[in-house]
Amino acid sequence: MDELLAVVTAKTGLPADKAKGAVEAVLEYLKEKLPGPLASQLDQVLETNAGAIGDAVGDAVEGVKDRLGGIFGGDS
């Protein structure tokens, strides 16, 4: 989870405590919505695949920033 927090912090510019709160909120939401067997394995998946998950989160954040920039007259 530490690697995921580092990626979210770096990609969003959020302070570490805010990024941690955001990541924890998303994880809690996923655990509530996923079927039981998947939800119970979420922490293990995060620990073994944190880099890939962090990259995906970073890519998603960049995509949103690009789209918002286009909407508000930015570079995109």
**Residue 27: which residues within 8 A CB-CB, separation 6 or more?**
42, 46
Q: What is the pLDDT of residue 53?
A: 59
User: Among residues of the chain, what percentage have pLDDT more than 90?
Assistant: 7
**For residues 19-24, average pLDDT:** 89
User: Among residues of the chain, what percentage have pLDDT more than 70?
Assistant: 63
Q: So where are the chain's domains?
A: 2-71
DSSP string, 11-76: HH---HHHHHHHHHHHHHHHHHHS-HHHHHHHHHHHHHHHHHHHHHHHHHHHHHHHHHHHHTTS--
pLDDT exceeds 50 at position 76: no
Q: pTM for the whole thing?
A: 0.54
pLDDT exceeds 80 at position 32: yes
